[in-house]
A and B are shown apart, each in its own frame.
Chain A
């Protein structure tokens, strides 16, 4: 029940209600003075009429004041309304209906939430009169939709039909800003109705400061869908890869975390893993109330390349997002050529002992993604580099003349080269062959060998975890491990410490990178074995070597991509030859979208915004561009984890969030039961006429 005004500006006229009183007071101050002989007769007259005169006088003043009040109210045109509907009466209405189409609407009102919301929207549209206009805005909007107010009900009904549940979270700020933008222009009665399940998610991060525009004189009437009976409310929180890399014919382990948002335990829920649409493994699990449970899966991929994975949660009556999608890029084993520059008869003392163990800990061919082949320096001339994704030179004293062009050609085509230092390295030869070659294969010339006692070794101080080669090292355990290592011998380079991927405490670089064509070179300034540092015996050594190898082999191959959250943009970066072409994206609903690739520094890049559906998005590269090694051709988008949570925001919390915009929450039932809207202009006009007539009659009497 409320009263609102069609033309509230006229309420300023209420100030004029003080005019009769002011005039009365001014008249008293501006008295005309007359010298008169028969004052005693005047006194006598006043005594006689005193009481009734004063009464009539004040009554007249009150009537005049009331007349002004009634006139101001009449011009402001008050409307008395009960219920939330728009019914007959009043002037033209400009209405914006915000329809919550976030994922949580799927489960609200026992699964009927979105249906109810649509019916309420239809009811509001049907209630519009001639001259009224309305716009329909889903809360999950991309911001590109051309919303406008329109008076054609049929068009609005069709728009309503087209709105579907989105897999993301409601973007309340954008929707509300758009609503106030639309209501900026028209005059007359302005209304905003938000039809929602009052799901907490979406309001979490909301504040009025995020609104680009709002008008506190236009209240937000919220129509809430029916409440659901405490359902089983669970979802899959996350799925992560528990094994090292994703390789063909290698054991692949996943760990899924399932969460229960409800107050009752979820018993015997079925958790299922499927790869490329095929069910691989399923398990039953129970999840405590407001708790989580972990479920592990193991499987194997037989083919290299992209795969799609899905973990789903199944249970009758379960409300909440039941599936998480992810992408897998399975790769064949990485062939790695390791050149040992200081071979020993004892395997343990070999320069490459720790390196090989890091690449293939079990020493079995089928147990690791990496397939290292160790040769000695003399074998380099006779070995073709083409079959190998990565070449690692360990403590090589000098480089044969024929190797340099070979390496240059190898690198141009996208190969990866990892060079370790060591006591045998002849710096002049390295500088001549690698640093001064064209293109240079070393980022900076070598200056001197620094070698001290083991006890006085330098600590690793700076570590660029943002670098793609070292991204896995944000884990504090690995970081602590690598920082505990000591380096007492290394080849000092002239490269500035800041450009290094890893630096020592004294500022000298430990790891530096150089790009050559499509390939990359990394120079590790200390030895690969334990001669110059204790890094090989640290926990971090294995993931460091594997990570560097992966990087040099061409990006994130052999990895799991958990994907993005629905509603977030996806960025793509391709070689510059793709500039001006378009990337084709096939959305989970089979819709195809072309995304133009624009130049960005030395790459072709694009950003795709319309990730509004949960599922797998497949990419199709345009013809004519060079094949980008490692570019994943699919990615997953998942609904926000918290969107499955069916907790609601209370009316008072909502009012606090939206302050200073007035908020009223109405149940959907009260909308359906209807309400009444009465234009108070006519009664006010009647009152005004009666007041004026009474005033006139009384004024005559006085």
Chain B
């Protein structure tokens, strides 16, 4: 396990999740089969595939026949029977690379996604991850293998934040690639046209997916706590810059942000989408708790 992985599974956070997990497991074990059966009936199909060996894979799972045929290492993968297929969509655009104090939105999002994947995989459900900016960076389809977490983490770590945001279009694209219904978890700051974002989310809903939106915002984005005259430069669009006195616009700014988040919340609610506005100062367990509350 690398240092980065340690970040994502901070013991403090994990301790919090662990407690939640115990409580969740008690709920799951009591209600899981009925709920899962009813929700995922007829989709239990065994699936086997090869994938290239990546560091951390167990040696015993190497397909030696394939090595003889292709002179390359392949791993034989087996699809466990599962009831839930969760797609974790993580926004890696440049705007996510912002931290007013401490953790960036990107790191927070990755931690959140990794934690969720961990939880999902621990529950024998299938978890996959899609990272994107204005295009899809990595697409790891959901699988219910316990050691699949490493691949998910690898995809999250593989690339840092960068590029522009185009959440709406990406959601449409991902929706086109998801063939089977499941749970779509979007982790993003949603700094895009609200209409486009909502259009994409509606598409998931239209295809029968459950959708949870973790709207990540830095505390500074919520409150604009700066003083003095400041030249604000956009993280994604280099030409977008503005001089402002935060004291003068703070109140209006907060209203604008509040309007935006309220609208997103309302639209999500109208489309039966679970919407969670999360400040990066919020402890991770609370964010995970909101997922568990959805599961419950």
Contact = CB atoms under 8 A, between A and B. Distances in A.
A48 B232 contact: no
Interface residues on A, range: 20 to 34
Interface stretch (A24-32, A84-92, A167-175, A331-339): A24-32
B191 A46 contact: no
A37 B229 CA distance: 17
Nearest to A57: B248
A32 B228 contact: yes
A36 B245 CA distance: 14
Contact of B191 (A40, A44, A45, A49): A40
B234 A37 contact: yes
A702 interface: yes
Interface stretch (B33-41, B124-132, B235-243): B235-243
B235 A37 contact: yes
Interface string A442-463: 0000000000000000000000
B221 interface: yes
A39 B228 contact: no
Interface residues of B, number: 38
A41 B257 contact: yes
B234 A49 contact: no
B233 interface: yes
Contacts of A37: 94-96, 98, 105, 189, 191, 218, 221, 234-236
A33 B95 contact: no
Contact of A28 (B229, B241, B244): B229
A191 to B, nearest CB: 50
Interface in A1-38: 27-28, 31-38
Given A34-B232, A36-B233, A45 B252 contact: yes
A44 B244 CA distance: 12
Contacts of B249: 42, 45-46, 49, 53
Contacts of A35: 98, 232-235
A31 B229 contact: yes
Given A36-B98, A37-B191, A39-B241, A44 B256 contact: yes
B206 interface: no
A43 interface: yes
A702 B243 CA distance: 16
Contacts of B233: 33-36, 39
Interface in A28-87: 28, 31-46, 48-49, 53, 57
A375 B219 CA distance: 141
Nearest to A41: B256
Contacts of B45: none
Contacts, number: 94
B231 interface: yes
Interface in B28-71: none
Contacts of A41: 221, 253, 256-257, 260
B295 interface: no
Nearest to B257: A41
A42 B253 contact: yes
Nearest to B246: A42
A189 B236 CA distance: 67
A46 B230 CA distance: 13
A702 B256 contact: no
Contacts of B95: 37-38
A31 B241 CA distance: 12
B226 interface: yes
A42 B235 contact: no
Contact of A33 (B217, B231, B252, B260): B231
A32 B226 CA distance: 10
A48 to B, nearest CB: 5
B252 A39 contact: no
B12 interface: no
B180 interface: no
Interface in A116-164: none
Contacts of A57: 248
Contacts of B260: 41
B103 to A, nearest CB: 14
Interface string A569-608: 0000000000000000000000000000000000000000
A28 B244 CA distance: 10
Contact of B257 (A38, A53, A702): A38
B247 interface: yes
B226 A46 contact: no
B248 A42 contact: no
Contacts of A38: 95, 191, 217, 221, 257
A48 B220 CA distance: 20
Contact of A36 (B96, B105, B232, B252): B232
Contact of A32 (B94, B230, B240, B242): B230
A49 B248 contact: yes
Contacts of B105: 37
Nearest to A44: B256
Interface string B159-197: 000000000000000000000000000000101000000
A53 B94 CA distance: 31
Contacts of A42: 224, 232, 242, 244, 249, 253
B253 A34 contact: no
Contacts of A702: 245, 247-248
A43 to B, nearest CB: 6
A31 B252 contact: no
A28 B234 CA distance: 19
Contact of B231 (A31, A44, A49): A31
Nearest to B191: A37
A32 B229 contact: yes
A70 B22 CA distance: 72
A41 B249 CA distance: 10
Nearest to A53: B248
Interface string B189-223: 10100000000000000000000000001101100
B228 A27 contact: yes
Nearest to B193: A40
Contacts of A45: 244, 249, 252-253, 255-256
B61 to A, nearest CB: 42
Contacts of A34: 226, 230-233
7 contacts: A36-B233, A38-B191, A41-B221, A42-B232, A45-B256, A46-B249, A57-B248
Q: Which 4 A-B pairs have the closest CB atoms?
A: A37-B95, A45-B252, A39-B234, A45-B253
Given A39-B240, A42-B253, A46-B249, 12 more contacts: A28-B243, A32-B228, A33-B230, A34-B232, A38-B191, A38-B221, A39-B241, A40-B191, A42-B242, A43-B240, A45-B249, A49-B249
Interface of A: 27-28, 31-46, 48-49, 53, 57, 702
